[in-house]
Structure 1
Amino acid sequence: MRSFTAVQRFDHTVSYLCLSHRFSAATAKVARVISHSGDGPLYAGIGLAAWWLDGAFGLWLLCTGIVAFAIELPIYWVLKRSFRRARPSQLPAFITPSDLYSMPSGHTAAAFLMASLISTFYPPLATVAFIWAGLIGLSRVLLGVHFVSDILVGAVLGLLCTALAQNITDDLYWMAAST
Structure 2
Amino acid sequence: MFALPARLQLIDDRLAVRSNRLSRYRGLRDFLRVVSRLGDGVAWYTLAAALYGLFGAEAVPALTQMLAAGVSGVIVYKLLKNHTLRPRPFEVVSDVVCAGSPLDRFSFPSGHTLHAVSFSLILAHHFPPLAGAVFGFALLVAISRPVLGLHYPSDVLAGGAIGASLASATLTLL
TM-score (ref. length: structure 1)? 0.85
Paired residue for 1:138? 143
For 2:23 and 2:46, the matched residues in 1 are separated by 37
- Quote the residue 1:6 is aligned against: 7
Q: Deviations over 1:134-172 (max 9, x none)?
A: 110110111011011000111111111112122232xxx
- The alignment yields a C-alpha RMSD, in angstroms, of 1.9
Count of matched residue positions in the alignment of Structure 1 and Structure 2: 168
Percentage identity across paired residues of the two chains: 27
CA-CA distance at 1:82 after TM superposition: 1.5
Match of 1:110 in 2: 115
Task: Tell me which amino acid in the other structure corresponds to 2:40.
Answer: D
Cα shift at 1:5: 2.3
- Counting only pairs closer than 5 Å after superposition, residues 5-154 of structure 1 correspond to structure 2 as 5-20=6-21, 23-89=24-90, 90=94, 91-154=96-159
**1:105–1:151 Cα contact (<8 Å) kept:** yes
Distance of 2:128 and 2:82 partners within structure 1: 35
SS in 1 for 2:39: coil
Q: CA deviation at 1:21?
A: 6.2
Partner of 1:177: none
